[in-house]
Amino acid sequence: MTMAFISAVHATELLPNVVRGAKVTTRREKYENNNSHMNLAITQCSGDTQANLASATAYCVETLNQYSLCNLGYPTNRDFNCDAIKPLLHFHLNNADIGHGHVDTSHFEKVNEMLIYLSVSVCVLNWFANLWEIKKNEYWRYATTGGTEGNLHGILVGREQLRDGILYTSQDSHYSIFKIARIKLTSGEIDCANLRNLVLAHKDKPAIINLNIGTTMKGAIDDLDLVIQTLEGCGFTRDRFYIHCDGALFGMMLPFVKQTLRITFKKPIGSVTISGHKIYINALSKDVEIIASRDTTITGSRCQHAPIFLWYALKKRGLIGLQDEVQKCIMKARYLQNRLGDAGIGTILNKFSNIVIFERPLDHDFTHGQLQPLCIANDIGSRNCACSMHR
């Protein structure tokens, strides 16, 4: 289960005015006062001793173990164990500029290495192609370094196909979308009434649409079907719009949620990207990019281990195991929202999402005291606010 925090107001406004003269130690001060991290410094010209390396590694493991016990706010799945494929970490595996359309491996010097890599990674990519219902030989795909590269590649293909197109996206889209765009976006949140007005105002230009399959902070999912209906209702033929689906957060969950929106290449979408380290047990950041056309990779040289981790997770769980895991995530999110609501804490949980947003407690007194809940309706909506005005 995952959660996200929002800061409703300035921190000083939330602090209870009961303790005077108390010293508050910041996280940075705690870090600087802890000398243990100093053994991570790289200072030995001739190399460090094995004992020091072991000590530094142990410190990292201990710190991460403690951190994982109280870490909230980032949507990753920490329920994984990759001990079974540790032996593969002893091999140097690198993929230099290979996209997986129809790849001829005869020119590679390390043919066996490449065949093993291609067999594993292509199995992963084909699994997602089948999940999103795109026929064999109708797509070009590759495993990227992460969700940002996947977004970059998907939108790049749209811009290459529609050179003078205008990119539309939600204001809650991942920051990488705005970095990729390099233009001033005119849209706020994608509601189709607003989108309709915008595309009609620029009807002479093709439309490139970025849809969020789970926004980073709120877990919102854009309505693909309604967007397509809006575009077609405005007179846009399918050769005049390109839709990229940013599924880095929920792209691997949504297919297993009942009564939900369906992402499929049977609909007029151009590309989908997902992130393997968000939900299906991939400690190494890895993204899968599926594009309904041929193209070349962005980064060229990429780590080959990450697709193996994703392959192992998919093969170990199977479709039924994945579906059960997604349902558990959704149920836990609803349970958390209900418990927080019972405690008088304002929350929001978007439909089909496993991200619960709630007001940020600063300390024990704020969490368990008798403080009047502050109004945060502007951040999470009046229906989700627990203040006396909106309760």
Minimum mean pLDDT range among 114-123, 158-167, 306-315, 316-325: 114-123
| Cα–Cα distance for residue pair 386/175, rounded to 1 Å | 29
User: How much is the pLDDT for 231?
Assistant: 93
- Which is higher by pLDDT, 199 or 71? 199
The answer to whether residue 335 scores a pLDDT higher than 90 is yes
Minimum mean pLDDT range among 15-19, 52-56, 78-82: 15-19
CA dihedral 300, 306, 311, 312 (to 10 degrees): 160
Q: What average pLDDT does the segment 93-121 reach?
A: 53
* 353 given a catalytic annotation: yes
| Cα–Cα distance for residue pair 216/228, rounded to 1 Å | 23
User: How much is the pLDDT for 158?
Assistant: 80
Across 21-45, b (16+ Cβ under 10 Å) vs e yields: eeeeeeeeeeeeeeeeeebeeeeee
Q: What average pLDDT does the segment 84-107 reach?
A: 59
User: How much is the pLDDT for 26?
Assistant: 47
Q: Phi then psi for 161, rounded to 5 degrees?
A: -75, -35
How many other β-carbons are positioned within 10 Å of the β-carbon of residue 103? 13
Which neighbouring-strand residues pair with 94? 303
User: How much is the pLDDT for 156?
Assistant: 77
Measured CA distances, 337 to 229, 288, 350, 354, 366 (Å): 33, 31, 11, 10, 18
The answer to whether residue 321 scores a pLDDT higher than 60 is yes
The answer to whether residue 97 scores a pLDDT higher than 90 is no
User: How much is the pLDDT for 104?
Assistant: 46
Burial label for 79, CB within 10 Å (0-12, 13-18, 19+), is exposed
Cβ partners under 8 Å of residue 319, min gap 6: 256
Q: What average pLDDT does the segment 118-123 reach?
A: 73
- Strand pairing class (347-349; 355-359): antiparallel
User: Which member of 176, 271, 275, 353 is catalytic?
Assistant: 353
Q: What average pLDDT does the segment 5-20 reach?
A: 34
- Which is higher by pLDDT, 263 or 189? 263
Helix (H) or strand (E) holding 358: strand 355-359
What are the strands, taking DSSP E only, across 119-226?
140-144, 166-168, 207-212
| Cα–Cα distance for residue pair 342/333, rounded to 1 Å | 14
DSSP 322-344: HHHHHHHHHHHHHHHHHHHHHTT
Q: Does residue 178 sit in helix, strand or coil?
A: helix
| Cα–Cα distance for residue pair 199/233, rounded to 1 Å | 11
User: How much is the pLDDT for 114?
Assistant: 52
